[in-house]
Amino acid sequence: HTELSVFELVGGEPTFRALVDHFYARVEQDDVLRPLFPEDLELGKYWQYLFLMQYWGGPTQYAAERGHPRLRMRHAPFQIDAEARNHWVEHMLAAIDEVGIQEPARSMMRDYFERGASFMINHIVPD
Ligand code: HEM
């Protein structure tokens, strides 16, 4: 059949490259997120780019190079609380619009990132 993947719908590889570029440009300027990320952002950026293409139906190079995503486990070294999650989501949703991703892909991606980011919280700040 001829149903398009989100990967194809949004324009393929260049769109994901741009999405990750815009997202990381924002992370670099964010005083909450920047200290959470390693000093050198390039490798994480590369895995993020490969993972997102694969997740949305594009090339499976992430699996070939990195194996199973195990995202909760890979985020465990970083203390992610609700505030960090909210900053992360704000920047990813903004990047989606900066890159010009259109409906219906826009809403599908927003829903995924909002839910996925909550799942990555691994630190509760007491009242
Ligand atoms: C790394 C995806 C949410 C912080 C990564 C990687 C991926 C990813 C694919 C690289 C994994 C690898 O090493 O193979 C996602 C997705 C999310 C999400 C899909 C939500 C749907 C978050 C949130 C934070 C966060 C909420 C909060 C700050 C990080 C950090 C790294 C990372 C600090 C390590 C970067 C590095 O090693 O350079 N994430 N992430 N992520 N993520 Fe996330």
Q: What is the CATH number of the domain that holds 83?
A: 1.10.490.10
In a domain, 83, yes or no: yes
AA letter at 44:
G
| C-alpha of residue 8 to centroid of ligand 1, in Å | 23
In a domain, 125, yes or no: no
pLDDT for the residue 1: 63
| C-alpha of residue 124 to centroid of ligand 1, in Å | 18
In a domain, 34, yes or no: yes
In a domain, 17, yes or no: yes
In a domain, 126, yes or no: no
- The residue assigned the tokens 């991703």 is 101
Mean pLDDT of the chain, nearest integer: 97
Phi, psi for 94 (deg, rounded to 5): -65, -40
The mean per-residue pLDDT over the stretch 4-26 comes to 98
Q: Closest Cα partner for 111 from 69, 56, 35, 71?
A: 56
The mean per-residue pLDDT over the stretch 25-42 comes to 98
Q: Whose CA is nearest to atom 4 of ligand 1?
A: 75
Q: Give 63-83 pLDDT, tens digit per residue.
A: 999 999 999 999 999 999 999
pLDDT confidence of 127, banded at 50, 70, 90?
A: confident
**Distance from C-alpha of 36 to C-alpha of 94, rounded to nearest angstrom:** 20
pLDDT for the residue 10: 98
Choice among 1-15, 51-65, 78-92 with the minimum mean pLDDT = 1-15
> Which atom belonging to ligand 1 lies closest to the Cα atom of 116?
21
| C-alpha of residue 100 to centroid of ligand 1, in Å | 22
**Distance from C-alpha of 120 to C-alpha of 76, rounded to nearest angstrom:** 8
Cβ < 6 A, ligand 1 pocket: 33, 36-38, 41, 43-44, 47-48, 51, 66, 71, 74-75, 78, 80, 84-85, 88, 113, 116-117, 120
**Distance from C-alpha of 56 to C-alpha of 112, rounded to nearest angstrom:** 10
In a domain, 77, yes or no: yes
Domain of residue 24 covers 6-119
- The residue assigned the tokens 């995924």 is 112
Q: Give 41-70 pLDDT, tens digit per residue.
A: 999 999 999 999 999 999 999 999 999 999
pLDDT for the residue 32: 98
Domains held by the chain: number: 1
> Which atom belonging to ligand 1 lies closest to the Cα atom of 62?
14
Asked if residue 2 has pLDDT above 90, the reply is: no
In a domain, 68, yes or no: yes
- The residue assigned the tokens 């630190």 is 123
> Which atom belonging to ligand 1 lies closest to the Cα atom of 43?
38
